[in-house]
Chain A
C-alpha cells in the first residue's frame, strides 16, 4: 500500500491534467463545430464532454485512447491489418532479434576492447561516433539499401535495433569487465590462471551487474530502433507503420493507441530484463 499510493496519486494527477488539456486543446475546433451547428450557450460540462468525444481531436482523451486500444486488440481478429496486437508482434519480433544482435555485438566488442590495447584505441572512437549520427537519417538508407539487395522484413529492422542497442552494452561491459580490483587480478596471477580462466572466473561474473543495467537501456532503445525502421517501409507493418498512417490521416486516437502499446511493450521488456537480473543476482548470492 505504501508503494502503490504514491504511484496512484501521480497517475490521478496526470489523468486530471490530461483531461483538462484535452478540453483546452480541442476547444477551438469544438467552438467552430458548435457555431456551425448554431449551438449557442452550451453549458461547460456538455462542452467538456464534446471535446472528449471528437473524431480527430488534437489531443484525444485517455478513455478514447483506451477504447481504441481495446477495439484494436481484443475486439479484433489477430490477422486483421488494423489489429494493434498484430502490428505490436511485428515490432516486438524485430525488437527482440535486434536486441539479441546488439547485446551479442556489444559484448564481443567489449571483450575485444579490454583484451587489446589497439582495439581499445581504434574501436572506441568509432563506436562513439556511430551514436552521433541521427538514427532517423540512417534507418531509411539501411532499410531501402538492404531492400535493394533483396533483404527485407525482419532483419533490416533488427539491424537498426542492433545499431542502437549495442552501444550501452559496449560501454557498460567495458566498464564491467574492467571492474575487478587489482587484488582479485593479482590473485589469479598467483594461480598462473590463463586469460580464458581470468575471463570466465573473474571478469565475466564481475561484469554481470553492468550487463543488466546496459541491457535495460538496450532493450528500450531496441524498440525505438524497430519503430523508426518501420517508418521507412510502410508495407511491412508494425507499430511504426500505425504511427505513420495515423499521422497521414489525422487519426490522433490511432497514433496515441500505437504509442501506448509501444510504451507498454517497452515497460514489459524492461521489467523482464529486471526479473532476469534478480534471478541471476539470487544465483550469484547477492544480499536479498
Chain B
C-alpha cells in the first residue's frame, strides 16, 4: 500500500473528481469477529474515467462499489460523490447501478422495466417514451420493447439492465461484474459495445470485474485490490487510446498493462499456492 503511487496518479487526472475516498474503511461485525471489508482506501475518480476494480473474491471491490452507492455504510474515513455524501448522492439519483444479475422484474416487459426508474422519479409519460427509445437504441435492443425478460437471452437481459441504469440522467454508472455470468463470446461483444456507449455518453464508469483482459481492455484506470483486509494495492493509469478495437488485446502495450495488473494481484498474496 503506497499512497505515493496513488498521489502521483492523481497528478495526471484532468476532469473534476466524481468520487473521492479518503482513508475509507468498512468493517462488518460477524459472529466470529470483525471482517475488515475495506481498509484505508484512498482513491479519486474523475469525470469521464472508466475505472475497473479487480481483485480476488473478498478483496472488497463489490463492497467499495456498494459503498459509493450508499448500499453499505463506511465505518471510517470520508467518501464524497460529486461533492456530496453518498446518501445525498443516492437521494439525488447521482448514479445508475448495474448488478451482477440483470434483476429485471419478470412481470414487466423490457420497456416497462426500463420505465421503472423513470416512473419512480416521476418523469412524464412522453419523456419516459423518449428515454426508453433512446436507451434501447443505445444498447441495441430496439424491437424487443414488448418482450418479457424470460424471452431474452442472458446477454440481452443484461443489456436491458444497462439501459435501465442509463434511462435517467445519472453521470455515474456503477457496474458490479455485469458480464460475469455470460460466456466469453457474448462478453467480448458487450465489452466493445460498452466502450462505444461510454464514448458516446461521456459517463464516468466504475466497473467491478475479476477478469484481467476485461479490466485492461475497458479501463482508463485500473484499481488492483487484495483481500484480508480488503485494500487497494495498485492504481494503474492505462496508456491505451480511447479508441480500442478488440484486437488491441494482442498489442505489447496491452500485454504490458495486463502483466502489471497480474503482478499487483500476486503482490497481494491473495491466493496462497493458487495461480492468479
Contact = CB atoms under 8 A, between A and B. Distances in A.
Nearest to B95: A190
Interface string A175-199: 0000001011011111111000100
B69 A193 contact: no
Q: How large is the interface on A (under 10, 10 to 19, 20 to 34, 35 or more residues)?
A: 20 to 34
A112 interface: no
Given A205-B107, A285-B106, A192 B93 contact: yes
Given A187-B99, A190-B71, A202 B105 contact: yes
A181 B99 CA distance: 12
B90 A201 contact: no
B108 A285 contact: yes
Given A181-B103, A285-B106, A285-B109, A187 B119 contact: no
Contacts of B121: 191
Contact of A190 (B97, B106, B109): B97
A118 interface: no
A191 B120 contact: yes
A192 B91 contact: yes
B148 A192 contact: no
Given A189-B90, A190-B90, A183 B99 contact: yes
Given A205-B107, A284-B107, A189 B71 contact: yes
A197 B71 CA distance: 18
Smallest CB-CB A-B distances: 9 pairs:
A284-B107, A285-B148, A190-B97, A183-B103, A191-B120, A193-B120, A205-B107, A191-B117, A192-B91
Given A183-B100, A186-B71, A187-B99, 10 more contacts: A186-B97, A190-B90, A190-B95, A191-B93, A191-B121, A192-B90, A192-B91, A201-B116, A202-B105, A206-B107
27 contacts: A183-B99, A183-B103, A184-B103, A184-B105, A186-B97, A187-B99, A187-B103, A189-B70, A189-B71, A189-B90, A190-B69, A190-B90, A191-B93, A191-B117, A191-B121, A192-B91, A192-B93, A192-B120, A197-B120, A201-B116, A205-B107, A206-B107, A208-B107, A284-B106, A284-B107, A285-B109, A285-B148
